[in-house]
Amino acid sequence: MEKRAPDRTFNAREPFLVTAERIADFCIAMSETNPLYVDPVLAAAGPHGGIVAPPAFVAAFRYADDVFDRLPAFAGGGLMAGIDIELGAPIRAGDSIRVSSELKETYEKTGRTGTMNFAVVRSTLTNQKGEVVAHVEHRMMRRAPGSPRG
């Protein structure tokens, strides 16, 4: 397995504005019913003093910057091979989230079906106050050119 050191950092051009509607739409799409995320009255009495986004909301920020699109091995796409999320401050409606990503590592693995390329990108999400709301590591996989099914 060949590993290469990180050599790129990417920053999303514009911050992502979190709205109550985006949180609500996410909750509907995920069938999320926890009152802390969907009920303003009950959430106001909760630990955060109002509605916050569910933890899984941070996974959507992979698309806030285009790191994988800039990697030649992934120019034609790839498959999500895993995600690790480390949560920080809660995300609230009105937050402006910035994403800064770095290529943590790339490596190859050879299996029964041929060679696969992997990339691990670590994104740091911060709000308008400079608070880290999450660190998200995305792993993508793509079959190497010339591999069966590649």
CATH of the domain at 29: 3.10.129.10
Examine residue 150 and state whether it is found in any structural domain, yes or no.
Answer: no
Examine residue 149 and state whether it is found in any structural domain, yes or no.
Answer: no
149 compared with 37, residue with greater pLDDT: 37
Rounded mean pLDDT, 28-42: 95
Examine residue 70 and state whether it is found in any structural domain, yes or no.
Answer: yes
Sign (positive/negative) of CA torsion 30, 76, 79, 91? negative
pTM of the model: 0.79
Q: What is the residue whose two structure tokens read 């985006």?
A: 22
Examine residue 24 and state whether it is found in any structural domain, yes or no.
Answer: yes
Examine residue 44 and state whether it is found in any structural domain, yes or no.
Answer: yes
Examine residue 51 and state whether it is found in any structural domain, yes or no.
Answer: yes
What domain count does the chain have?
1
- The whole-number pLDDT of residue 7 equals 43
pLDDT at 6 over 70: no
Given a contact cutoff of 8 angstroms between Cβ atoms, the answer to whether 11 and 100 are in contact is yes
Mean of per-residue pLDDT scores for the chain: 84
Q: What single-letter amino acid sits at 122?
A: R
Q: Whole-angstrom Cα distance, residue 73 to residue 71?
A: 6
pLDDT band, residue 22 (cuts 50/70/90): very high
> DSSP assignment of 68-104, as one string?
GGGSGGGTT--EEEEEEEEE-SPPBTT-EEEEEEEEE
Name the helix (H) or strand (E) containing 10: strand 9-11
What is the token pair recorded at 56? 């899984």
Q: In terms of residue numbers, what domain contains 95?
A: 3-143
pLDDT at 2 over 60: no
Examine residue 148 and state whether it is found in any structural domain, yes or no.
Answer: no
- The whole-number pLDDT of residue 10 equals 52
